Structure 1
Amino acid sequence: MGLFSSPQRVIRAVLVSQVLMGAAIVGIDMMRSPGSAAPGLFAPPAQGPSVRPYRPDLRPSDPSRPGAPAMRPMPDQLEFSEGADLIAITGQIAPGDGDRFVAWLEEARPQATQVALDSSGGSVSDALAIGRSIRSVGLSTTIQDGAVCLSACPYILAGGRERLVEEGGVVGVHQHYFGKNTILPALMAVADVQQAQASVMEFLDQMGVDLRLMPLALRTPPDEINILTPEQLRDLNVITDADG
């Protein structure tokens, strides 16, 4: 009897090969130098490709600090704090961060009226919830020099009453990831994604952002990020003002 004499053995062999291939890919990725995780992310759009590699768990260090490590970890959930005149929101957007932000607002009662974002994105639904909360209390949003706002983070940015991206700030979009549905049939899962996309479009329209932003996101794979130029940010009304 041959090695692949039964369907069960064939399936088992395919699964084992996929696991080994996946392990090899992860190993190669881990052996790469930290600086190669998101090369050229801070390069001006005119000097670099608009679509660049994307790693939500790592982010480039502030390019204004000579000698700093090329990459540093991005917190795995949002961190909220208030400085002298800014509310800082930093990290990946984790499920539940929308509720955590509301609870933080109620407890901290911040006096600052501007939110500085530095986030690689994450949960779309929580980003929308935070964006709505920011708009409801009349806060403005900003991406400072050396900060990033990627993936779902631009929806938080869109919540600002006024929206600013400083020169050296990076804003990027890509395809939404709402999570795999392993219970519902495929057609129902597709319907869920379509409803979620409709929620995003409705949100952008309510925030005054041009819906032409969506094709730029939907054409970019989840493992890449489409860096928006200052001209695009203004043209699509992602920002209401710009520095530089």
Structure 2
Amino acid sequence: MRAMSLRPKPARLFVAALALAGLTGATVMDPANPTCPLEPNWSAYPEMKLTVEKRGNMKVMLAEGRVDAGLPDRLTAALKANPDVSEIWLRSPGGDARAGNAAGRIIRSNFGLGTRIPSGWACFSACNFVFMGGQPRMIEPGGLFIVHMFTRTGDRGAIDMSVAMGTDATRELIGDIEQDSALLASEDNDFLIRMGISRKLLTDIMYRQSAVATEENKSTRRCLTLDEALKYGVTYAPE
């Protein structure tokens, strides 16, 4: 009779780790993206929701959900209706990159309007550029500024359609993606300079992530440490 192995199976170890985290309050980290938690708190709203609330002695705007194409217009209207807002608090999984850049510029045009990632909240992808518009910018201990390599290859519908149409259509789409990606990289670089952030954030961190997970490198996200955020000028010294 075959002897039973006493070695715990990986799946059981993972379940046990989740159970232990639940008991201890420890954060479960993402095996594919080891610098980040498995489930970042970045909100599930399909369009970014803007809510103005009183927090202590100041009025803040909670910006939660996906960065959508209509955000810049809604943000402009919300700030016009609430000129006494002091800070924008962000919790977002990202979304439309150019809308994120535009929202960041709108925030910067409102002199002295700060941005904040509160403790336990996460700001990913296009949300990064919304956050960068703040002056000042604050990441609380426990707040997450999560970056990745920007890409348009996630548009599966356009890719599948071009493949169905044949080689010429696919080649044209690939050319469009390459051209647009290069243009977006140039826009990101210009945006960082205008916001007073080191361009090395792009070269040292963002563009070193995999655009698409592979067998060799499954990591597509990178959570900045507070020291890194300070080093690249993303945030200022904690209060």
- TM exceeds 0.5? yes
- Asked if the contact 2:136/2:236 (under 8 Å) is kept, the reply is yes
Unaligned 5+ runs, structure 1: 1-31, 61-71
Taking the aligned partners of 1:218 and 1:42, their CA distance within structure 2 comes to 27
Q: How does 1:81-160 map to 2 (within 5 A)?
A: 81-84=51-54, 85-106=59-80, 108-138=81-111, 139-160=113-134
Please say if 1:192 is aligned against 2:180.
Answer: yes
Taking the aligned partners of 2:227 and 2:210, their CA distance within structure 1 comes to 22
Cα displacement (A) at 1:99: 2.1
Taking the aligned partners of 1:151 and 1:93, their CA distance within structure 2 comes to 9
CA gap of 1:232–1:191, structure 2 versus 1, over 3 A, is same
Cα displacement (A) at 1:197: 0.9
Taking the aligned partners of 1:41 and 1:112, their CA distance within structure 2 comes to 34
Residue of structure 2 in register with 1:173 after alignment: 147
CA gap of 1:89–1:185, structure 2 versus 1, over 3 A, is closer
Provide the alpha-carbon RMSD of the alignment: 3.0
Residue of structure 1 in register with 2:207 after alignment: 218
- Asked if the contact 1:140/1:160 (under 8 Å) is kept, the reply is yes
Unaligned 5+ runs, structure 2: 1-14, 19-24, 163-168, 214-219
1:153 maps to amino acid: C
Instruction: Give CA deviations for 1:44-79 in whole Å, capped at 9, x if unaligned.
Output: 9xxx932566xxxx744xxxxxxxxxxx95111100
Residue of structure 1 in register with 2:50 after alignment: 80
Residue of structure 2 in register with 1:227 after alignment: 223
1:95 maps to amino acid: A
Taking the aligned partners of 1:41 and 1:123, their CA distance within structure 2 comes to 32
Taking the aligned partners of 2:179 and 2:26, their CA distance within structure 1 comes to 34
CA gap of 1:143–1:231, structure 2 versus 1, over 3 A, is same
Q: How many matched pairs?
A: 189
Cα displacement (A) at 1:233: 0.2
Residue of structure 2 in register with 1:240 after alignment: 236
